[in-house]
Copies of this chain bind each other. A is one copy, B any other.
Amino acid sequence: MPRSPIRRRLAEAATALFDERGYDATTVDDIAARAGVSRSTFFRHYRSKEDVIFPEHDALLAKVAARLAASTADTAVVAVCDAVRIVLAHYVDDAEVSLQRYRLVGKVPALRDREIASVARYQRLFREFVADWLDGSPDAALRAELMAASVVAAHNQVLRGWLRAEGRHDPFGPLDHALQYVITTFRHLEKPRGRETSDRVVVAAFRSSASPDTVMDAIRAQLDARPPADR
């Protein structure tokens, strides 16, 4: 069923009509008529009127989950930050559609709520992933919630900025910048996987009994991983 030509026609008809008359003033019959199919057919291809606007979310969620599962990162934050890039990439790949949806969602409260619910699903996925990862450590559930919320918040902030700018700049730089806040906030709360160094990065830098210069370098590296405002 994915990517059938009729799905495409329906989506195009819908966006055109939403653009011309607005979301509420457009009925499913209108959409079907413009696409040259029957109302029944519409509901065979989209579960609801809203679904025309928010497609592929399930597939994307699955992709993100797969990425998490395959992650080789040493900490949960890093794994999740890595995974959230997929989401942004998805928006950027379909910039045209994303922008159109953004404009529409800004006007229709029902759609806004729906979008928020979608985002919450990613957040939940992240939360559960992190909770599993951290399982056993103190306040695991709480930290998982905070991490997931922060990563999603960082993503949202960058995405909104990109959308407001009508997709004119590359958003991955800003995303990395934003995620740096999150990573530096949470990374030191975790023990990196595999190694049995019960300490944070900073301390590890000092463990290697190196020259002061080496120490300084390590520390600088640590600092470079921080958000600029902190330097």
Interface residues of A (CB under 8 A from B): 112-114, 116-117, 120, 137-139, 141-143, 145-146, 148-150, 152-154, 156-157, 161, 177-178, 181-182, 185, 188-189, 200, 202-203, 206, 211-212, 215-216, 219-220, 223, 226-231
B157 touches A200 (CB 8 A): no
Q: A117-B116, A154-B145, A181-B146 are in contact. Are A219 and B231 (CB under 8 A)?
A: no
- A57→B190 CA distance, assembly (Å): 37
A229 adjacent to B137 (CB under 8 Å): yes
Q: Looking at the assembled complex, report how far the CB atom of A114 sits from the nearest CB atom of chain B, in whole angstroms.
A: 7
Contact A203 B189 (CB under 8 A): no
Q: Across the interface, which residues of B come within 8 angstroms of A150, CB to CB?
A: 146, 149-150, 153
A149-B153, A150-B150, A215-B219 known; A226-B188 Cβ under 8 A: yes
Q: Which residue of B lies closest to A154 (CB)?
A: B146
Say how far A218's CB is from chain B's closest CB, in angstroms: 10
Name the residue of chain B whose CB is nearest to the CB of A137: B229
- How far, in angstroms, from A228 to B154 measured CA to CA in the complex? 24
Contact of A189 among B145, B149, B215, B229 (CB under 8 A): B229
Instruction: Looking at the assembled complex, report how far the CB atom of A59 sits from the nearest CB atom of chain B, in whole angstroms.
Output: 19
**Whole-angstrom CA separation of A19 from B12 in the bound complex:** 42
> Could you tell me the distance between the alpha carbons of A139 and B150 in the complex, rounded to whole angstroms?
15
Which of the residues B157, B161, B189, B219 comes within 8 Å of A230, measured between beta carbons? B189
Assess whether B157 is in contact with A142, with CB atoms less than 8 Å apart: yes
9 residue pairs from A and B, CB less than 8 Å apart:
A113-B120, A139-B177, A139-B227, A146-B153, A146-B181, A146-B182, A212-B215, A215-B215, A215-B216
Identify the interface centre among A143, A146, A154, A212: most chain B CB within 10 Å of its CB: A146
A130 to chain B, nearest CB (A): 12
Q: How far in angstroms is the closest Cβ of chain B from A229?
A: 4
Tell me whether A230 and B203 are in contact (CB under 8 A).
Answer: yes
User: Lowest 5 A-B CB distances belong to which pairs?
Assistant: A149-B153, A113-B117, A138-B229, A145-B157, A149-B149
